[in-house]
Chain A
Amino acid sequence: MKQLILLDSEAVNALAHRSHPKHAKAVSQAQLIATRRTRRHEFNVAVPVSVRVEAGWDRAASEWTFANRFRIADIALDGAAVDAAARIRARTGASVTDAHLGAAIQLAAADHVTVITSDPGDMRAVASGTRIVVIPI
């Protein structure tokens, strides 16, 4: 079973920065994913590029080294994702980053999508009926 884990900007910052109050929680999730990957669970972790912008994640900057090493993929905002995000934003009034997360949820080529987020309600709204697991950070 393919499982996609999406992070919002709060989750990105929590994982990346040791001083973040939720760093321990983010590391626990990362450790669990790493352990399950060694048991052949097919987990992929990804971040929409607009979330990276909001979080200030510059892959060239040294303060992001820890997050960079985690093999977290970028999800581009192009093609069908733009259209899907625009529809979500028009329907829900969500921010651009949340709409992009919603598009990523809807277009995911995975059996199961989990979102680690500081806004569980917003994520359920932009998921637009797509079944997701929401982990509050």
Chain B
Amino acid sequence: MTREEAIDRLNELLDSTDAATVNTSMRLPHALRDAAALAVQEFGVAPSTTVMTANALRSMLEAVAMQAVLDLHYTEYPETRPSLADLAVAAAELDEHPLASQPDVIRRYAREIVERHPNASPEDVLLWADARRYREARQAKEAA
């Protein structure tokens, strides 16, 4: 099965409206099963442990499918892979960060943070930006 076929089959299965259920031989740690039962009974997180398990599994599989599509795209077209700075700008827009309208500033902070933290996340860049701007504002206040 090629990667494309696997993605398409995964999406097909996730889109299926077949409500038929199946007993599985999946083995869960006792403690995890008991924790799930407790969460359902005491915190009402789902109507049943079965529903909770199925929802969590679906959510994870949908995320896997989406990332697989992107990974395939990056393999075929490496130039389309976003940089940390691109992702930080996207995060600023999605989260309504005050710097969302200043992508060049975010890109500068992204370049700065990777010097010390090569594995920084987009959210790390925005936190770094906040810290830097706070420090700059404080220095300006003290100088005034």
Residue among A28, A34, A114, A133 making CB contact with B66, cutoff 8 Å: A34
A69 contacts B82, C-beta separation under 8 Å: no
- Majority-rule SS of B interface residues: helix
Chain A: CB-nearest residue to B14: A71
- CB-CB < 8 A to A33: which residues of B? 66, 94
Q: With A and B bound together, what is the CA distance between A71 and B77 in angstroms?
A: 21
Q: With A and B bound together, what is the CA distance between A52 and B139 in angstroms?
A: 51
User: Contacts A66-B69, A69-B7, A69-B69 known; A31 to B96 CB distance under 8 Å?
Assistant: no
Q: A31-B87, A31-B90, A69-B65 are known; give 10 further A-B pairs, CB within 8 A.
A: A18-B80, A28-B82, A28-B86, A28-B87, A28-B89, A31-B82, A34-B70, A37-B62, A69-B69, A114-B94
Chain B: CB-nearest residue to A73: B15
A71 contacts B65, C-beta separation under 8 Å: yes
Report if B34 contacts A (CB, 8 A). Answer: no
Report if B67 contacts A (CB, 8 A). Answer: yes
Q: With A and B bound together, what is the CA distance between A69 and B90 in angstroms?
A: 21
- CB-CB < 8 A to B67: which residues of A? 34-35, 38
Report if B136 contacts A (CB, 8 A). Answer: no
CB distance from A135 to the nearest CB of B (A): 5
Residue among B7, B63, B69 making CB contact with A37, cutoff 8 Å: B63
Report if A87 contacts B (CB, 8 A). Answer: no
A24 contacts B82, C-beta separation under 8 Å: yes
Q: With A and B bound together, what is the CA distance between A66 and B8 in angstroms?
A: 11
Q: With A and B bound together, what is the CA distance between A34 and B74 in angstroms?
A: 14
How many interface residues does chain B have, given as a range? 20 to 34
A-B contact pairs, 10 of them (CB 8 A): A18-B80, A28-B82, A28-B86, A28-B90, A34-B63, A34-B70, A66-B73, A133-B93, A133-B96, A135-B94
- CB-CB < 8 A to B66: which residues of A? 30, 33-34, 37, 70-71
Q: Which B residues between 61 and 115 are near A, CB-CB below 8 angstroms?
A: 62-67, 69-70, 73, 77, 80, 82, 86-87, 89-91, 93-94, 96
- CB-CB < 8 A to B7: which residues of A? 69
Q: With A and B bound together, what is the CA distance between A114 and B82 in angstroms?
A: 21
Q: Which B residues between 13 and 33 are near A, CB-CB below 8 angstroms?
A: 14
Report if A124 contacts B (CB, 8 A). Answer: no
Report if B59 contacts A (CB, 8 A). Answer: yes
A32 contacts B73, C-beta separation under 8 Å: no
Q: With A and B bound together, what is the CA distance between A40 and B95 in angstroms?
A: 16
User: Contacts A24-B86, A69-B7 known; A30 to B59 CB distance under 8 Å?
Assistant: no
